[in-house]
A and B are shown apart, each in its own frame.
Chain A
Amino acid sequence: MVGFAQRQMLEFDGSPTMVELLVPLFAELYEQTGFTRKDIGFWCSGSSDYLAGRSFSFVSAVDAIGALPPVNESHVEMDAAWALYEAWVKIQTGEIDTALVYGFGKSSAGVLRRTLALQLDPYTMTPLWPDSVSLAGLQARLGIEAELWDETAMASVAQRSLTDAETNPHAVRRGGSSVEELLARPMYADPLRKHDCAPVTDGASAIVLAADDRARDAAERPAWITGLAHNVDPLQLGARDLTASKSATRAAESAVIDDVEVAELHAPFSHQELILRHALGLASDVRINPSGGALTSNPMFTAGLNRIGEAADRIRNGEVTRALGHATSGPLLQQNLVCVMDGATK
């Protein structure tokens, strides 16, 4: 990992292809790495046309690359963290030694919590249009009833996130107060208050990967990926324990997350951070989401990639040696990806 650039806002005043955001993002990455677009061996993006109603938006977005002569390019309809996974696998095969991974999404163009009902079972769930906030509310109460967490623990997550976001210029929501003050705020999707739910966020971001000497040339202190794995739980919400995350546990086992000092967890709802901390088996001294996390900025299709970028930046600036970035996709933490990075030279 040798470069990371991000942009977030509550409402992007521009087209769903976000070409006008991607061009300056790529320029920033060329500046960071010294690469030009001709140095990039593979381009991979994450986005979805359902978000803003523009068909083939990922094809239009390729304009931002400048694709003549033709480029080696791919796309996933998932958070761009999975595009990073595809690029990493391609690097492992030896076919390429550099890749630029990007994602973009204009959530504000539609009603995001309703649009996300399209990722549910299309026969037995989508026709009822269960919105994503309601599903999270049902999940949160299951955990409260089982005494796995309580409203105070949820508010503590929000309080820490809002406080940490004060130093993150990219956060769209920030400003902590106190757990007591947060608990005094009105319910929204009972038992969730608004600060328990990630803000609807527009944005784009990109990461540059490079192998071996290409990485050493591009960055003074690359964040070396030592483990990258993803796993998935069944789509049927009745066929899995919603208060746990087996897929996150399995991904963490594959990626070997021992000794991480910082973990950036992609938890769009406060109680989901509590599920993930438990599922990943993180020690109590691991610093969680120093960026403020998804509760303070949750651009669809890049919030997961941003967790990896934020964790990598802590290594690249020398703050820590070993860090974890996590991404989720699908309803209620159905799919989970874990990326472990190390600053020690290979």
Chain B
Amino acid sequence: MTTSQARTLSAPLRVSFDYTRSVGPTLGAFFAGLRERRLVAGRLADGSVVLPPPEFDPATHEPVTDFVEVGPAGTVQSWTWVPEPVAEQPFDRPFAWALVLLDGATAPFLHALDIPYDDLRVGMRVRARWVNEPVGAITDIACFEKLRDQEDPPRDAAGDPPTHGRLITPVNLDYTYAASPEESAFFRGLEQGRILGQRCPACGKVYVPPRGACPVDGVPTTDEVELPGTGTVTTFCIVNVPFLGQKITPPYVSAYVLLDGADIAFLHLILGIEASEVRMGMRVEAVWRPRDEWGTTVENISHFAPTDEPDADFESYKVHL
């Protein structure tokens, strides 16, 4: 995390996930066509020819089943310039998008143009440029490019459309993630070896990590409270299942630790004891990493380990379960 002039701490955050989707008969025909470098549009009830084919007719709501090949050349109906491209667009340098009316279609199709800014004109003739190895995805079309005079656009022989069932779309999103002012105070405290919570001025409950508002009263939690590193295991889970990114070899214990003086338990690891020996009510204390490894992170506390104290009475923590 970076500490700047801002009142909050922030850090870069990347969220990535692959969407795996099955395509039905309509989009399946479109993507199967792309794999053969063909543009398969749908004919709607009103006679319009739309690319990509909508799965259902917007007017009649019937499935679209009448397919017609269009293009591969077409006419630019509209264009715009992208002076500052964003990640994963068709080009990583300034480029144009266009709405292209493909020959045989009645509605425009969106894609990128590989044409310099000064040459862009509504009405210009363009054709699809394909990638070398189409896989059945919208990105099989690299872009559209100028169609030369007298040129017959190349096309592959039409065959029966092969079936096409699955599409994987990776999504990567980059953020600057900020902690709330209360969370920022908590992380800055950890950097100094302190555990800071906050007390609700209305109900007196102590929250750690602190929250922006007391979830019971809806008022800001204003009073800072320093908490000790000792507490009680309220409930726990023995992790036996390996997963991506796991840092400790299973079995190990993830537990809710109610720090002494807090009203909400804190999730952390329990180490230094056999997993089978961990129990509700067990008294534990924070084990800190060496001071020179501390940062604005909860990982400054390596884990919690058992103390020599007798177990806490169930009555003392039952309202915190």
- Residue numbers of A with Cβ under 8 A of B are 13-17, 19-20, 22-23, 26, 37, 50, 52-54, 62-68, 106, 108-111, 113-115, 118, 121-131, 134-135, 137-142, 145, 187-192, 234, 236-240
Assembled-state Cα–Cα distance A68/B314 (Å): 24
With both chains docked as a complex, state the minimum distance between the C-beta of B103 and any C-beta of chain A, in angstroms: 15
A128 touches B111 (CB 8 A): yes
Which one, A19, A50, A131, A240, contacts B212 given CB within 8 A?
A: A19
B110 touches A138 (CB 8 A): yes
Assembled-state Cα–Cα distance A98/B137 (Å): 49
Which residues of chain A are near B8, meaning CB under 8 Å?
A: 13-15
Assembled-state Cα–Cα distance A14/B178 (Å): 6
Which residues of chain A are near B19, meaning CB under 8 Å?
A: 122
Q: Which of B77-85, B234-242, B273-281, B286-294 contacts the other chain? A: B77-85
A190 touches B81 (CB 8 A): yes
Residue of A nearest to B221 (CB): A63
B110 touches A141 (CB 8 A): no
Residue of B nearest to A113 (CB): B86
B81 touches A66 (CB 8 A): no
A118 touches B171 (CB 8 A): yes
* Contact of A138 with B99 at beta-carbon distance under 8 Å, contacts A14-B178, A23-B212 already known: yes
- Within B177-224, the residues touching A (CB, 8 Å) are 177-181, 183, 211-220
Which residues of chain A are near B6, meaning CB under 8 Å?
A: 13
With both chains docked as a complex, state the minimum distance between the C-beta of A94 and any C-beta of chain B, in angstroms: 27
* Contact of A137 with B58 at beta-carbon distance under 8 Å, contacts A20-B180, A62-B215 already known: no
B215 touches A66 (CB 8 A): yes
Which residues of chain A are near B52, meaning CB under 8 Å?
A: 121, 123-124, 236, 238
- Residue numbers of B with Cβ under 8 A of A are 6-8, 13, 15, 19, 21, 23, 27, 30-31, 44, 50-52, 54, 58, 77-83, 86-90, 97-99, 107-112, 117, 122, 137-139, 167, 169, 171, 173-181, 183, 211-220
Give me 7 A-to-B residue pairs in the complex whose CB atoms sit less than 8 angstroms apart, sorted by A's number. Answer: A63-B211, A128-B139, A134-B82, A138-B99, A140-B80, A238-B107, A238-B110
Assembled-state Cα–Cα distance A34/B50 (Å): 55
Residue of A nearest to B48 (CB): A239
Residue of A nearest to B168 (CB): A127
A128 touches B213 (CB 8 A): no
B77 touches A142 (CB 8 A): yes
A63 touches B83 (CB 8 A): no
B58 touches A236 (CB 8 A): yes
Which residues of chain B are near A122, meaning CB under 8 Å?
A: 19, 21, 169
A239 touches B54 (CB 8 A): yes
A131 touches B82 (CB 8 A): yes
B213 touches A19 (CB 8 A): yes
* Contact of A127 with B173 at beta-carbon distance under 8 Å, contacts A19-B211, A238-B107 already known: no
